[in-house]
């Protein structure tokens, strides 16, 4: 009988450069993925369009972290096709309770309208998934998340794969060997997702992005 996958197994896997997926929501099994090319955001090269900057500047939403972790994960899984099965939901919740998994949420009053979640180990952040229920709310979440990772001392933001949506925001693909080198360096850092206790205002987020892009 194979050994069960635990939260500790996942931490070791991510630190080794691989991550889990399921074939579908209904599939109880997980498999390990180690792509030849890895999607990443270079933290100093996140692209904010003029229209997105204008929307962020208006501050139509409230930004919070870790106040609705599992609702964010469930919203990310609420699609016709998803790689997030019941086992992964259970494991992510455990990792959140252990302090490794985090969410950044976009709220409209009392309604959760966008967000992103992932795992933080050392100076590496492994982005898992994101969702939008309003125009651009996942992009807004990414802008605030990348700012938070910079402030927290992270050096690697792993997106696993790259999509046209992520590429439009500045994500790139790098070969596996390059990724492993960046991962090794990042794991040696003492970064902290919660270093920025207060959520910065929109002006600060846009100013820091403009200075580093």
pLDDT digits (tens, 9 = 90+) for 74-90: 999 998 888 899 999 99
Contacts of residue 58, defined as CB under 8 A and 6 or more positions apart, other chains included, come to 202
What is the CATH number assigned to the segment(s) 7-212? 3.40.630.70
The predicted-structure confidence for 48-104, as pLDDT tens digits, reads as follows: 889 999 999 998 999 999 999 999 999 999 988 888 999 999 999 999 999 999 999
The 10 Å CB-count burial string (b at 16+, else e) for 152-170 is bebbbbbbbebeeebeebb
- Residue 135 has φ and ψ, to the nearest 5°, of -60, 125
Structure tokens at 93: 């919740």
Domain boundaries, the chain: 7-212
Query: Which segments of the chain have a pLDDT < 70?
Result: 1-3, 197, 210-213
**pTM, rounded to two decimals:** 0.93
């Amino acid at each position: 009988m194979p050994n069960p996958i635990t939260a500790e197994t996942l931490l070791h896997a991510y630190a080794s450069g691989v991550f889990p997926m399921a074939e579908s929501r209904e599939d109880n099994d997980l498999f390990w993925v180690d792509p030849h090319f890895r999607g990443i955001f270079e933290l100093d090269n996140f692209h904010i369009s003029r229209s997105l900057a204008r929307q962020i500047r208006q501050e139509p939403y409230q930004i919070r972290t870790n106040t609705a972790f599992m609702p964010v994960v469930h919203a990310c899984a609420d699609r016709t096709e998803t790689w997030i099965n019941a086992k992964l939901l259970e494991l992510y919740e455990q990792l959140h309770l252990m302090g490794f998994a985090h969410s950044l949420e976009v709220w409209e009053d009392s309604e959760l309208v966008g967000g992103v979640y992932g795992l933080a180990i050392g100076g590496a952040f492994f982005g898992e998934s994101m969702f939008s229920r309003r125009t651009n709310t996942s992009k807004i979440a990414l802008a605030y998340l990348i700012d938070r990772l910079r402030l927290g001392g992270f050096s690697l933001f792993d997106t696993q794969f790259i999509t046209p949506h992520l590429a439009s925001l500045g994500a790139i693909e790098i070969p596996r060997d390059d990724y492993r080198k960046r991962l090794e360096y990042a794991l040696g850092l003492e970064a902290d997702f919660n270093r920025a206790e207060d959520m910065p205002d929109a002006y600060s987020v846009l100013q820091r992005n403009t200075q580093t892009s």
